[in-house]
Structure 1
Amino acid sequence: MTNVIDGDAVAQSLRDDLRDAIETLADADARPGLATVLMSDDAASETYVTRKHEDCREVGIEDFHEDVDANAPTEELVSVVEDLNERPEVHGVLVQTPLPEHVEAERALQAVAPEKDVDGFHFANVGRFVRGTPRFRPCTPHGVQKLLEHAGVEIEGADAVIVGRSNLVGKPLANLFLRRADDGNATVTVCHSRTEDLAAKTHGADIVVTACGVPELVTGDMLSDGVAVIDVGYNRVEVSERRSEDSRTESGQSDNERGYEIVGDVDFESATEKASAITPVPGGVGPMTRAMLLYNAVRAASEQEGVTVDLP
């Protein structure tokens, strides 16, 4: 029987496990603090930021927020980030992306102090990460590792195929899988839009991770029996005719009423016929990305305050 990995449950377990470390820091007058910066009128970005603050409050991390006018110049955003860098009660700074087109996004992200860069975007942190001595593991790739660990999937010695080569997921995940560590030591193949015969690559894999943004690209006939599948994709597509008219979301709206449905990069229905473990979309990797952000905030506070804590 296929193990459908419940990302919400795993994320909740990790948040619970962080509480002891957070209280240890609080007892030393070093309660972790995480700040978000939002420069967008996009409703989805506002929702993401709101959820991150809810997560912080749930586990006892101090949360801070700065809004920047979406029409402001890059200099104003950079100034806000630099002010947060100077605040000792703020241990982590996250600039919510995407940013407006007129903003020099790279300049803004590089303005975050490396020790407070809980997303792991700063060049100094990327360099440390690739060298194998990471300050922070990027949130989504680290979340993928945790999901595999929860499902009892052995990474060491596995043939892993990653479909996608982005700087956010594909490349850093390949580095994590390759690391000389208990949760690494895999043989890794990275596929992308120029890969010929993708099915030949995925069919020989023990682990397949998709992060390419192509709806239901990977199907069951491209997978081997017993494979572990982690679907990082999150794609809005027009409602399929196979969905029933009375299928309802939590908001009470049917998919047909909304006009779209959310699917991953994997055809879930056919993949479950082959996979030993698989993540759903939504409810798989997404919750773990937010949970690992909290993890990095706690780690940042520990290092900045010189207080040793046990991290899950």
Structure 2
Amino acid sequence: MSAKLIDGKKVASELKEQIREDVDNWVNAGNRRPFLKVLQVGNDPASSTYIKAKTRVCKEVGIDTDTTHLPDTVSAKELKNVVTQFNNDDSIDGILVQLPLPSHLSSHDVIESIDHRKDVDGFHPMNVGRLTLDQPTFKSCTPAGIFELFKYYSIPTKGKHAVVVGASNIVGTPMSIMLSRENSSGKATTTICHKFTKDITAHTISADILVVAAGQPNLIKAEMVKEGAVVIDVGINRVADETSDKGYKLAGDCDFESLKDKVSWITPVPGGVGPMTVAMLMKNTLLAAKKSIYPD
């Protein structure tokens, strides 16, 4: 068996084009352009790179955006005061606080200070709670992007055994919730594994759908999955590569080379899940502007 490639870059491109058309229609109907406010604390190079990518896609789809930079010495009180100002600014539709934050700041406290109606990342407890209850909400962008891939490639989840490796609040936990929920088009029997799980292979080997977001390069090998499984690799890791000008290459959490001849579908790294995450952020920002989820 040779796996079919799940091309997230292609799907994200088509999705962004649809969002651009929706934004144009929204503006042509007399509304202002959706506005995404990004907040960065400090100057972490990786965070700056991610913000540049998000800003570029905002421009592509016609969403206005601006980034506020705060020093990494900012206090928790000062940071929350800035977020409160954004909450009270009616010209701002979506708020994104770029993670991670400096160690003296609590990401949980900062996220909770965001107005849940502007939480386009889908991290606020209100939105996570509504997701758990299968109610309309802003969905975490990476899991939502994965479901768009399932839809595009007609990969069924209903009645399947789905295994999620990694229990983060950003990917693993919301992914497991969505896989098990009817309104998320999941309806799968779902298992979630984490660093305390004993014998991960005992779980992954039975998965019809395997989603891996563990942050450990090449964790999942061919002998850990069954023939014909669907593999979604969320990981993006830098591994040493002397042949590269940068001295490293990007690798997923799955051993792509050993898996590609055993599974039915697989996402590459890069070019798989990553582009979908940013596209879904754009979709959430448009929904926030339209007040589709939380009407006034």
TM-score of the pair, normalised by structure 1 = 0.89
Choose from 63, 72, 75 the match for 1:73. 75
Q: How does 1:1-312 map to 2 (within 5 A)?
A: 1-26=2-27, 27-181=29-183, 183-239=185-241, 254-255=243-244, 257-303=245-291
In structure 2, C-alpha distance between the alignment counterparts of 1:141 and 1:194, rounded to whole Å = 22
Structure 1 spans left out of the alignment, 5+ residues? 240-244, 246-253, 308-312
Aligned to 1:75, the other structure's residue is in SS state helix
Residues paired across the two proteins, number: 293
* Aligned 8 A contact 2:204 2:210 in 1: yes
* Aligned 8 A contact 1:229 1:277 in 2: yes
Q: Displacement of 1:54 after TM fit? A: 0.8
Deviations 1:81-137 (A, max 9, x none): 111112222100000011111223222221111100111121111211111113211
Letter in 2 for 1:263: A
Q: Displacement of 1:158 after TM fit? A: 1.1
* Aligned 8 A contact 2:178 2:184 in 1: no
In structure 2, C-alpha distance between the alignment counterparts of 1:77 and 1:226, rounded to whole Å = 48
* Aligned 8 A contact 2:164 2:172 in 1: yes
* Aligned 8 A contact 1:177 1:184 in 2: yes
Aligned to 1:242: none
In structure 1, C-alpha distance between the alignment counterparts of 2:131 and 2:294, rounded to whole Å = 21
In structure 1, C-alpha distance between the alignment counterparts of 2:293 and 2:170, rounded to whole Å = 28
In structure 2, C-alpha distance between the alignment counterparts of 1:153 and 1:146, rounded to whole Å = 10
Letter in 2 for 1:221: E
Aligned to 2:164, the other structure's residue is in SS state strand
In structure 1, C-alpha distance between the alignment counterparts of 2:139 and 2:107, rounded to whole Å = 21
Q: 1:51 to 1:274 in 2, by over 3 A?
A: same
TM-score of the pair, normalised by structure 2 = 0.94
Deviations 1:17-73 (A, max 9, x none): 112321232123142111100112111111111111111111111112211112221
Q: Which moved more, 1:296-305 or 1:223-232?
A: 296-305
In structure 1, C-alpha distance between the alignment counterparts of 2:266 and 2:292, rounded to whole Å = 37
* Aligned 8 A contact 2:240 2:248 in 1: yes
Q: Which moved more, 1:266-275 or 1:123-132?
A: 123-132
Aligned to 1:63, the other structure's residue is in SS state strand
Please, what is the CA RMSD of the aligned residues? 1.8
Aligned to 1:258, the other structure's residue is in SS state coil
Aligned to 1:29, the other structure's residue is in SS state coil
In structure 2, C-alpha distance between the alignment counterparts of 1:188 and 1:3, rounded to whole Å = 23
* Aligned 8 A contact 1:120 1:126 in 2: yes
Q: Which runs of 4+ in 1 moved over 6 A?
A: 304-307
Q: 1:305 to 1:197 in 2, by over 3 A?
A: closer
Q: Displacement of 1:182 after TM fit? A: 6.6
Deviations 1:202-224 (A, max 9, x none): 12211100011121111112111
In structure 2, C-alpha distance between the alignment counterparts of 1:49 and 1:273, rounded to whole Å = 36
In structure 2, C-alpha distance between the alignment counterparts of 1:302 and 1:181, rounded to whole Å = 21
* Aligned 8 A contact 1:91 1:304 in 2: no
Q: Percent identity over the alignment?
A: 41
